[in-house]
Each structure stands twice: as structure tokens, then as C-alpha cells.
Structure 1
Amino acid sequence: MLDNDTSNNNNCNPQNLPLDELKFALSGKDGVRRNVPALDEHWVQREKPFASYLCMLSSYGRLKSGAALEEWTFAANNFRGDMEFLLSLTQHEFWSYMVYDESAMAAVVTFLQRANPYYRQTDVSRDKELDQAHLLYGQLLDLVVRLIMRLCTGKESDSEWISPKQHGSLLYSNYLISVPLLFDLLIAVGDAEPENVELLRQIFDKVLEVQPEYQKDLKEALIFYESAFLSMQIQVENEGCEGAGGGASLDVDLETPYDDVVLFAMDCAYTLRLLLLLCPQLLETIEQLRLAPSIANFYDMTVPMLYKNIYLVNPGASSLRWLNETRQQYIFIVRRVVSLQMESGRGQQLVEVMQECLSAQNFVVDYQRQFPLEHDMKLLIQRCPNIKNYEVDFVVSGYQKALASCPNGIMADDMASNGVQVTGNVQDEEFKNGDSSRTSPQPSPTANGTTRDIDLEVTAVLEVLPDLGSGFIRRLLIRYDNSEQVIAAILDDNLPPDLAQMDRQEVYIPPDPQDKQQRQTGLRHFNVHDGDRYDVLTRDQPECIIKQGKGLPGAPRNAEQLLDDKRDLKQLKERYQKYAMVEETTLERGEYDDEYDDSYEAQNEGQAPPVSLLRGRLQEAASSSAYNAQDELENDDEESSGGHSDPEPSMRTNRDFCENPEVIRARYEQRQLSKYGQKSGGHGASPSVVGAPKGQGQSQQTQRSRGQKEAHKSTRANHNRKAGAAFKRSKGMMG
């Protein structure tokens, strides 16, 4: 072993050599002198390892007390002695301990990992023991920060210094400074005071200056945030049972299963915000990783679902307040990104980032409410005149429209009033007490504004899982949004711990209306109509007939009076008499009833009679002679052409605006009957065209008639509509 240690001599380095070149000449017990490097394991002569630090907080923001606080005080005093020992060493001894004694650096890392977050400040002024413990913790934090500052310092004096190359290699190769350690330092120190921000900035600037490799590590750390957001989303969907980021086990004293997820989200938010505050040069990396849109999507999808689940389990949980702080920090992060882009003149990147965030409506509403985007865009147009105005107008209008469509907010602050009406703890207590009537699920509004039908959803679950009880299914439906999620959670065996331990055969008892009526009126009845509009005991004027004695008012006294009741027949008689009161008009003044439909009548004399003619009239006319009808028709024509005046109103006069259609129809029917009345079947085919039966030969007249019909068939029927219309107008039948 070497003795005659001269390391404490201030003149041990007269040539002012750097640490990697400095050596000390020491002699051993045998008198042999030997040169020992200044950075060597020889200087680590402490046998006792450095003490590990215990966390001052018991769990989730609660301070220790009693025996646990006394144990922490004892461990903290030992840790303070170790830190003071390291800081009292000379440079080469200090670096030898930090490089060759693993427990020294492990103690520092453990303290930063278990340090109190700067954003979790607890009022300890009322408790003397906690006040002294808080002062002791402040001393420990000061010692650890001083130790890290010494690690970042390469030159302590003219004779104690390290070359920049060796300094960076020592820090990076031996993991004396790492990105996780810097992140823990951010949470431990924070930015509550301006001096803290300046101190952290000096540490980060010195570390990045000494070793540029830390710049790459910071970029890798930013990539981690995307997977962190995904991990938290998975934990929320899995009811927070597995713990985000490695989280706590289920036997820890938790207010809700989601406390660990909320704390992890809040730690990520504060760390990222401080990192952007201290290292603005990471802006380009953040743009490449699309970190701002990832934050907006996490804000829009995971945070509302996380808040809703916590509120259902415990509406008074502290994690709700932490979650609101986390939301605010994520908004500040995006605001910091926008500010850095504005300062660096990256207008196009700013517009693209804000445009990508438009899909996250929850984030857009909250961001626009705190930082109106139109103000930033006005400054952006002034600094970047080359940016396209229509893109700016599109983004601004999108943010303004989102805020206008949701004036009351849609995030966690408003879900307590607009969302769940009954808490999970209250319902659980009522189920335990056996009073399930109070837990009758009221129709609750869903995301799209419709009303949930719990009974219908229970039926849907029972169709798939008939072995479950209706009461157990109702508990699950209160926690989940719809029956599909309940079925998936049961089949995947992914129920929350509090629901997984419940009786799955629990039966639901419908609520009793008498209990509600008794709570409202103070009266308890046993009538089927209790509380409704027919209740004569609670209403002064019930909507019913109060029966007194036998029978109802106005009812028959006996069966004979009932059978003699002719009131129904009288009502029927009065009803049908109304149909008989129809005004009848005569044709004496030339009026006529034009209800007759002549739409399908033939248009001229040469056309075959329509099938719509009444068969009865044709049969009656068939018995008369066609020659008599023709003579009567000729007599009518001679009288009309002879100038004889007929006083009957059926004849057309010059004073008539148009001839009476009834007269025209009657005259037309006479002609048709006289012409076709004697022919069988009422068809208009000429016998000369029909001819003899087949196989008996045809006469010359038949063949001539058939040829004439074939030659002139285009002038009739559907081929001569214009002539038919002209004929109708000539007769005064204007159609």
C-alpha cells in the first residue's frame, strides 16, 4: 500500500497539468516510490457505501408522518453527510469517487428519482415536524444540485482542471450525466423561481457544450413521448390496472385505479414544457416528430375518457385536480411551440401544425379559449409576408368555428355538470344496503345527444350472456358507454378490480313507486292509482268519476232498463239523416250535371263504339230496328235543316254559348245504337270484312272490303287524333 499521500497539498500540480495527465509520486511501506494517476481507484479509500435516499412522500402526494417520518429523517441525515463528503474532496478525488465508486452516483440518481415534484407543494407550516423535514429536504436538494454543477464544471482552479475532451468522455461514457437524470432534475428543481430556471439553463448549456452526443439523446427522448401517450391510452382502456410507465401495483393505497396514469401524464407534461423552455433548439426535432399533433390527439381522446372514468369511481379524488393541471401544461407546451415558430419565422410550419390539430376538437376549443389564434396569425403575416393568406384564414376560421359551436366547453371542467349524474360510490353503497330502488338507471344522454335505454341494453347483454344477473349487468352499464363494451369486457375478462369481485348473479329489483311517492308527499298508500291523476286522496279534483252507491251516474238500474235503451239507434238515425240533406237542382234553367265522364267516348261516327258503353243500353237498343233508328235520325236532320224552331231546350240556339253536352251525348248514342245495335258482341267489324267461316271460301265483296280496310286503316283509330280533336271542338265540347 502506498502512503505519504500528498494529494491535499495545494502545490501538488505545479505544472498545472490536466487531470488526465496529472500523476502523483507516492512511496509505499517498502520505500518504493510510484507514480499514481490523479484519476485512479487508489483514491477511493472509503469502505462504507453511500447511503440511499428514501422518498419523503408516502404515496401520491401524501407526506409521511409518525415513525415513517422519523425513519426518513434518519436516512436523510445520512444522505446529507455523504453529499457533504463528496463536495469536500479535491477534484481528482471527487472524480475518482464518481467514476470508480458506483454507490456514489447511485445515491444521486436515487435522490432525483424519489425527489418531491416541485409542482406538489404541501402546506407544512402547521406541523413543526413536517416543517423541519421540509427544511432538511431543501438542504438535500441544494447539495445534489451543487454536486451536479461540479460534475458539469471542467475547471475549478488553475491547477485543478480537466480537458474538454476528457470531461465530455467522463460524463458520457461513465453515465455520470444522462438524459433521464436531467429530466428528473427538471421535476425536482422546476421553474417556480427565476433563479431555478437560470440554474437549469446553465446545467443544460454546459452539458450540451461539453458533449454534443447528448443532443442526439434528447431527440431519442422526444421520440419516447409518442409511445408514452399510447401507453397511457392503453392503461385507460384497461381500467388502469397494469400501471402506466411501470406504475404501481393494485395493493397500493389508491383513490382510483387511474392515479398512477394521471401522475405519469402530469410528469411527462411538466418535463416536456421545461425542456422546451431550456432547449429551444429542439424545435426542429419536435416539428419532425409531429409532437404537437400527438399532444392534441392525446388531449382529445385520452384525457376526457380518463376524467370520466375517475369521476365514476370517485368524484372527490385528487387525481381530478391533477388531471386539470396536466391539461393546462399540455396547452402551454403547444403554446411554447407556436411561440418558438413565431420567433424563428417558421410560418409555414406553424400553419401546418395548427391545421393538423384541427381534428382534435377538445384541444382546439380549450386552446382557442386561452390563446386566440387570430392574434398570432396577424403577427405571423407581418413577419412572414410570403405565407398564403387563404391557408391562414382557413386555420383561423376552423378554430373560431370550433369555439363558437361549443360555447360551454366540452372538457373535464364541464363534464361534472353535463355528464354523469350519479356517482359510482353512491350506487355501490345503495346496492350493498339492498335498496336497489334508488339506483334505477335514469335515461342518460350519450355523446351524440340521444337518450340511453338501460333496460334495452340489459336485454342485449342477457341475450349473449344469459347466465349473468340483471343487477350485475346494470353495474357494468353504469361504468361503460354501451352494451357492446360490456360484452367485450366480460368475454376478455378485463373488468375493473372493483367489478370483477362482485356477485355476477346479482338480481335487479325494480324500484317501488310507493317509496318515491312517500318521500315526496309523506303519505304511504296501497292503491294502484297512488300518486297519479286519479288519486282521490292526494288530489282535490281527480280526473275520474267518484262512484257513490251502486252503479255509476247515468247507468241503467237493471237489465230490463239496459235492454230498453235505444240511445244507440237514435244516434245512428241522426247520423244517417245528415247524408240525406243534399241539395238537388233541376235542369229547368238550362243547368246540367256534368259528372258524366266522356273521356273515352268515340270522337266521330266512323269509329267503333267504345267498350265503356253500358251493355244494358246496347241490349235494349238491339231489340229495336236499325232502320227505325235511321229514319228517326233522318227526321231529326230534316227538321233541323228545314228551319223549324223547336222550343225545347235540348235544341241548340244562337244564344247558347255552347251546346248542351247531354244533348250531344244522347244524339251520339242514338247514332251508335242505330248503327251497331243489332250486331252481336257490340263489335264494330263489318260483316263484309268478317266473311264466312274459315274453310268455306270468301266472296268478292269480302275480299274487296278487307283490301279497302287495309288501305285506309291509317286514317282512323290512333292515327287520326287531330281529326277527332277537331270534331270535338266543332261540336262545342272544348276539352
Structure 2
Amino acid sequence: MACARVPLDEQQVTEPGPLGAERTLPALHPDRMEERCFVPYKPPPAEGSPADVEEFLEHAKFITEDLEWLLALPHDKFWCQVVFDGSLQRCLDSYLHHAPRGLEIIVLPFSRMVADVQRAVHRAVFLTFLRMATHKESKENFLTPAVFGEIIYDNFLFDIPKILDLCVLFGKGNSQLLHKMIENIFTQQPSYYSDLDETVPTVLQVFDNILHKCGLQCEEAAAIEPMKLNAHKQPTAVTMSQQELVDIILYLCDSTTTIHAFLDIFPAACSSFQSHSFLSRLTSFYETAVPDLEKAVRKRNFDDKDLHEDLWKRLSHSCRKMVESAHLLMHHTCLQPILEGRENMQTFAEELLQYFTTFLTEKRFLSDYDEQFPIADDISLLQQALPVIDETRTSYLLQGVESAWDSVGRRKPPSQIRNEAPSSVSAVQGAAGGGVASAAGYEPEEVREPGRDGESLSGAEAMVDVPRKGNNGAVRPVSEAELESLLSCIVDLLPDLGEGFLLACLQEYNYNSELVINNILEDRLTPNLDKLDRAMPRPVKEELPDVLNNRSNVFDDDEFDIFRRDQLDMSRIWKGRKRGENTREMLNDKQHIEEQRARYQTYETVVDEVIVEPGESAAGFDLDDYDDEYDDTYDMNQVGANDLDGDSLLNRRPFTVPQVLRKGNKTEEEEEGEDDEEEDVLQKNVNRDQFVQDPALLRQRAEARRAATQQRKGFRPEPPGNVVGRPKGQGQTLGTFLDRRKKEANKSRGANHNRRNMADRKRNKGMIPS
């Protein structure tokens, strides 16, 4: 028998050998293992045929019985079976790989029986892993901590992928047990921390793979590896096949749910994730991939409405888990040390503000994050804990949050839910006072899923949380296609309700179809909705007039009017050069001139007199008929033109332009003289082609006019100055001397800008050495 108070790894046992003789063996020895075959786990069948359901029930029953037998073994036998039985590890690994996750709901004819068996397997697997992670069961049954760490690490009883699967499968309802279990594993074997550091880049690679499949690339990845030239040829989320889109969304949902569950249960891993800039990569992925995936799901036509609704639910769930993961990272690495009053609080506050500042460029992520976790609350906590926080910076952050809501086209809810414990304010004030002991009584509120406390063990059958807002996380009016999709989903479940009533409900509950259905079934509608008629039809929408039929254009009813013609002459439409057409032949083609020749030939003949035959008078011109009513008194006589009582109308003086309207101060004689000169010149050159006149002649005329004008006004041009003078040594005349002095005095009028006078002024003041 095993000795008391001795670790199992140091114990020796005496047992009969194969030939009947007794032998002494270590307590952990392969020969002490029982021969038992553990069958691998198979998930519940999707189709639900009776044969498949019966096979699943039989396999699950075998697994449950084997694991209950294993749990009933004593401490030494249990560890011999765990360490040396390979079929047991394969059975446990198969359950972690194939067990249905939270969003995978089993709908079978025998759902209750299947659920009961599944729950039994789920519980047995969890208890097995829990016992495997416990190195001390009692004072008599325990392992040396160092040996325990080597056993679980060297035999791969636990690794990082297994721990991630344990969190996502058993985290809901068992978070405290899982936290103690994983904390004990990492404490007894610190090598798991190094494995976690090597796993984080693999998790980041998941995001890169999704972006690559969607034909996208985030900024951080682009800085490391530039996008390839053939990247534009890859299919996008909108153009890829339906099966590929389904796989990507399922992959994203499973990955984000697993990461959030692990960070929520084991917060100590947040520092390892942050060491690889996980938060910045997560936000960049969210901003880049989520809009494209939502657009692809929204615009794609699915034959199966259930598939469409399931994809939208999974995508919304993924978005929420990414936002919550980002909050966990910032809470445990920045905010919690501040609330606990640790040292270097200013450093943690600066790091938190820096994260918020980097979020300002990620508009979509920032608005979704602020909807679930208002940034104003975190900034308020910082201001209470550290009054020295720069108010200008915090105001800038809050304005950036408001701008993010406006840029994404959404409206911030008027009142955001704030679940703050009353002790949080006093705890923050105590932390601000500088004492760790004063803030030690404050326990920061963890991010918990609704309904976790007091919930029974559900494991793999856990349902997804219903989002508070609409299916797409928005509180803005949805598009027409989204509205039709929401209506169709509700009408399928509640066909007796009118579409008008459902539209009012959707508008009241921010287009959240799940919330509308839940409140209708539980009869918890608001009073204004209860007053409405539940069979109210949808209001008739007035059809707008067709723009194409009411348009007015100069090309209406022409031969290429496609809006009014069903058939067009396509032989007259081509792109580029017409086939079989030569440019030279096209230029030499004068057919259009020949077509116009007959039109202009009618103007060649001008008839001065028309000879009318006697028989044609009545038919044509009526020239022979006399009109006795015609009065020819004024045909030839100029009546009143030569009367003696006034000046003759024919001998009036010529018209004179008034002095006010004349140009300049030129007299009439000067204007007439200039006109005569110009007329003489024009008469001399009347036979020349004046299309382009000689520039020299034009300059000569202008100079002559200028000289004549100066002569009339008595202007005398200034005589040219002679500043050059005679050659040196022959003496200068008085005129040359005077011209030079005049030039020297008047230098400031030119380009020198009074340079000589200013130089003399500086020299007189001693600024320039003489």
C-alpha cells in the first residue's frame, strides 16, 4: 500500500507479478494501467435520422460510463491511466474538437434525449479535466508541484489549444472553477507562458487569413508585407462563392468567441496578448473586414432564409466578442491597476488614453465600442483617480467619439446603460488618495455574459446572447432591403400580425427583430404599441412618377432614343474606326457636297423681269387689274420738303456730335483732319490685301500721329543727354558735365532706388567704414 503523506511520484507499491511473485514498482508505472478502450466522441448528427441518433446515443453512453469509471479510480490508478493510456487522450481530444459550441443548436426529433446524453458527456469530460489539473486532492493524495508540472507538460495533457477549447466549451457557468484550474496549470508549469507567447502570432494569423480570403489587408500587415500585385484578382467577400463566405463567417465566429472566453476566464493572459500589439491589430481588422462581410451578407441572395439569419447572427456575435475582447485587454492591463491604486498610475492612465486616441481613426470600431462600453465613463474614472489628467486631451477624445458616431451615419442613444456599483466611486476616490489599502476593498466588475450567475451547467448547448440593438448593431433606420428581411423573419414566426403593426414595433425597438418577437410573445410591448391594431396593414407607399417618361431632351424620338425605341440600327453604332474604312477614302469622299449642290443651284438664276403672257395675269400676278382705291399722290412728289415757311428739309446742316459725347478734347477740325488722313491712306492702299498689315507701316503711322499731336500742343521733347562725352584726356564740355550731374542727382527715379543717397546716409552715421 502507498505510504501516507508521501507524494505519489515518490511512492512504491508491491504487487504480484505475471508469474505470481511479488514485485515492487513505482506508483506511476505503465504496468499498473488498466486495459480499457475509450471510444472517440462523435457529435450529434445534423440530419437526425433514427439510425444516426441511435449510434450517437450508444457512443455517448460508452464515453460516459468509461469516464465515470475513470473518475471513480483511486488517486494512483487515475494518474496511471491518464499518463499511459493513449485511447483516453484521444477520446478527450475528440470531444474538444467536435463538441458543439454555443451557437450550434441541436434540433432533432429526440432533442430531449440527445440533450440529456450530451449533458452527461459534457459533465464527465469537464470533471476529468478538472481532476487532471489538480495536483493535490487531499493530504494523502497529492503530487509534487514540480513533478506535476513536468507530467502535464511532457505528456501533453494540457496545451494552449486545449486550454482555449476548455474555456469556450465550459466557461459559461463554470468560470470560477476554470479560472482556478488554468491558474494552477500556469503556476505549476511556467513554460505555458512561453507557449502562449508563441501562440499569439498564430491567433493574429487567423485575422490575416480572413483578410486575405476577402481580398483585403490591414495597415499593420501592409507595413510588414506590402500587398502583392495580383491581389486585386482575388475574390472579395461580395464576389466569392456562398460556401466560402459561410466558412469565413463560421471561422471568424469560432475564433473570436474562443479568444474572448480565454481572456475572460484567465485575465493574466492579457499582458501576453498586449506584448504582441494584439489590440491594435484587432481594431484594424474590425474596421477593415466587418463592413465588407456585412455588405456581403446583406446584398447576397440566399435561398435558405434560415442560413441568412444564422450568418447574420454569427457575424453580429463575432463583432460583439471582438469589442468585448478589446475592453478586457484595456481593463485588465490599464484600468484595473489604476483602480487598485498600484504604483505608476500615471503610466497606466497614459497608456489607456493612448489606446483611446488610436481608436479615433477606427470610426466603426469606436462607435460600436462606445455603444457597449461608454468611453465617457472610463474617462470619468480616470479624472476621479488622477485629477492631473489633461482636460484638453479628454475633451478631444470625447469630441472624437461624437464625430465617429456621425461619420458612420448612426445616432448615439440618448441614455446609455451604466451599471456602476455604488462602492466604485468611493474606491476610486480612495485610489486617488494614494493608498493601496484604501482601494483594496474595491473589486472591479468583470465583464459577464447575461444570465451567467446562478445558471445551471449547459456547456456546449449554451445559447448566444441576444444583442441589445439591431441585428447589425446599429440604432439608425435600416435600408429598404434590411427592413424587408426583418419583416419577413417576423412574419414567418407571427403570420397573424399586420405589417404596419410590425413596422411600428421595429421602429420603437430600434429595428431589433429578436427584441420585437420576444416582447410580442411575452406581451411586454410599450403602451403606445398596445393601443395599435395588431392586424394593421402596411401603409401604401405613393409611387413616384417615372423620371424617364417625364424627361425632356433634345435627343427625344431620334433614331438612338433607347427609352422609346425597342430596336435600333446597330450597323450605325461602332466603337473606334469602322471596319473596312480607310481614312484617305473617307477624306476624299465628297458625297455630302454633291447632296448640297442641287440646293444651292436654285440661287444661281436671278430674274429682273418676269414676262407674263396675257392669259396668265389672273392666275399669277394681277398686274393688269387697276385698283382705283390706290392713292398715288405721294409716289413722286416731295410734299412739304421745299416749303417757304422754314428751312428746307433737304438742305439741313449736317449732323454734329455734341461736345459732351466727343472723345477727349479734340476739336471738330482735328477729328476731320485725322479722318481725312486715314481715308487718304486707305484710298492709297485700297487695292492691297489688308488682312495682315505691315507692322513697320503701322508703327510709322502711329509715330506720325504722335508727332503731329505733340506739335499741335507745343510739346518740345527733352534734348538727349550726353553723359559719355569725349575720350579720356581730351576734356569735357559744359553740357557733358551738366548731363552727368543731372543723371547722378536723378538716379533714385530708376532701378537703383536711391541707392547712392542711402549709402551716403549710412556712411555719415558711421555704419560703413570709410
* TM-score (norm. length: structure 1): 0.54
Match of 2:355 among 339, 342, 353: 353
- Structure 1 residue 420: deviation in Å? 8.2
- Structure 1 residue 25: deviation in Å? 1.5
What do the CA deviations read for 1:619-670 (whole angstroms, capped 9, x no partner)? 989xxxxxxxxxxxxxxxxxxxxxxxxxxxxxxxxxxxxxxxxxxxx9x979
Q: How does 1:301-450 map to 2 (within 5 A)?
A: 301-314=288-301, 316=305, 317=308, 318-340=310-332, 341-345=334-338, 346-408=348-410, 412=472, 417=478
1:151 aligns with 2:149: no
Once residues 157 and 256 of structure 2 are traced to their aligned partners in structure 1, the CA distance between those partners, rounded to angstroms, is 25
Q: 1:720 to 1:134 in 2, by over 3 A?
A: closer
- Structure 1 residue 369: deviation in Å? 3.1
Q: How does 1:119-518 map to 2 (within 5 A)?
A: 119-122=103-106, 124=107, 129-191=110-172, 193=173, 196-237=174-215, 256-314=243-301, 316=305, 317=308, 318-340=310-332, 341-345=334-338, 346-408=348-410, 412=472, 417=478
**Matched residue type, 2:291:** P
1:86 aligns with 2:70: yes
Match of 2:97 in 1: 113
Residues 30, 80 of structure 2: 8 Å contact kept: yes
What do the CA deviations read for 1:223-273 (whole angstroms, capped 9, x no partner)? 33222211111122299xxxxxxxxxxxxxx95322222122122222222
SS state at 2:321 partner:
helix
What do the CA deviations read for 1:411-451 (whole angstroms, capped 9, x no partner)? 9567995598999xxxxxxxxxxxxxxxxxxxxxxxxxxxx
- Structure 1 residue 104: deviation in Å? 0.8
Match of 1:456 in 2: none
Match of 1:52 in 2: 40
Match of 1:593 among 646, 661, 664: 661
Once residues 215 and 207 of structure 2 are traced to their aligned partners in structure 1, the CA distance between those partners, rounded to angstroms, is 13
Once residues 323 and 344 of structure 1 are traced to their aligned partners in structure 2, the CA distance between those partners, rounded to angstroms, is 33
Once residues 711 and 163 of structure 1 are traced to their aligned partners in structure 2, the CA distance between those partners, rounded to angstroms, is 116
What do the CA deviations read for 1:695-732 (whole angstroms, capped 9, x no partner)? xxxxxxxxx9x999999999xxxx999xxxxxxxxxxx
SS state at 2:142 partner:
coil
* TM-score (norm. length: structure 2): 0.51
- Structure 1 residue 30: deviation in Å? 4.4
What do the CA deviations read for 1:115-169 (whole angstroms, capped 9, x no partner)? 11124345x5xx5512111110010010001101111222334433212121111
**Matched residue type, 1:175:** F
**Matched residue type, 1:334:** A
What do the CA deviations read for 1:532-553 (whole angstroms, capped 9, x no partner)? 79xxxxxxxxxxxxxxxxxxxx
Once residues 671 and 211 of structure 1 are traced to their aligned partners in structure 2, the CA distance between those partners, rounded to angstroms, is 113
What do the CA deviations read for 1:336-376 (whole angstroms, capped 9, x no partner)? 23333222112111111121222211111222233331221
Match of 2:11 among 12, 15, 22: 22
Q: 1:31 to 1:530 in 2, by over 3 A?
A: closer
SS state at 2:77 partner:
helix
Match of 1:104 among 72, 77, 88: 88
**What are the ranges of 5 or more consecutive residues in structure 1 without an aligned counterpart?**
1-11, 240-253, 424-513, 518-526, 534-562, 565-583, 602-609, 622-665, 677-682, 687-703, 722-735
Residues 187, 267 of structure 1: 8 Å contact kept: no
**Matched residue type, 1:394:** Y
SS state at 2:78 partner:
helix
- Structure 1 residue 301: deviation in Å? 0.2
What do the CA deviations read for 1:167-204 (whole angstroms, capped 9, x no partner)? 1111111111111111111121232x3xx222222222
**What are the ranges of 5 or more consecutive residues in structure 2 without an aligned counterpart?**
218-240, 339-347, 413-470, 485-545, 550-558, 566-619, 622-653, 682-704, 720-732, 751-770
Aligned length: 456
Q: How does 1:650-665 map to 2 (within 5 A)?
A: none
**Matched residue type, 2:37:** P
Q: 1:183 to 1:710 in 2, by over 3 A?
A: closer
Match of 1:36 among 25, 29, 32: 25
SS state at 2:661 partner:
coil
SS state at 1:307 partner:
helix
**Matched residue type, 2:275:** Q
Residues 216, 288 of structure 2: 8 Å contact kept: no
SS state at 2:10 partner:
coil
Once residues 395 and 283 of structure 2 are traced to their aligned partners in structure 1, the CA distance between those partners, rounded to angstroms, is 21
Residues 256, 313 of structure 1: 8 Å contact kept: no
Residues 256, 310 of structure 1: 8 Å contact kept: no
**Matched residue type, 2:202:** F
What do the CA deviations read for 1:586-638 (whole angstroms, capped 9, x no partner)? 678xx42133498xx9xxxxxxxx9x9948449989xxxxxxxxxxxxxxxxx
Residues 196, 272 of structure 2: 8 Å contact kept: no
**Matched residue type, 2:206:** A
RMSD, aligned α-carbons: 4.8
Once residues 365 and 131 of structure 1 are traced to their aligned partners in structure 2, the CA distance between those partners, rounded to angstroms, is 42
**Matched residue type, 2:74:** T
Q: 1:65 to 1:203 in 2, by over 3 A?
A: farther
Once residues 244 and 678 of structure 2 are traced to their aligned partners in structure 1, the CA distance between those partners, rounded to angstroms, is 96
Q: 1:617 to 1:275 in 2, by over 3 A?
A: same
Residues 25, 33 of structure 1: 8 Å contact kept: yes
Once residues 351 and 295 of structure 2 are traced to their aligned partners in structure 1, the CA distance between those partners, rounded to angstroms, is 34
Residues 171, 265 of structure 2: 8 Å contact kept: no
**Matched residue type, 2:191:** E
Q: 1:413 to 1:140 in 2, by over 3 A?
A: same
**Matched residue type, 2:170:** V
Which one scores higher on RCO, CA 8 angstroms, separation ≥ 6? 2
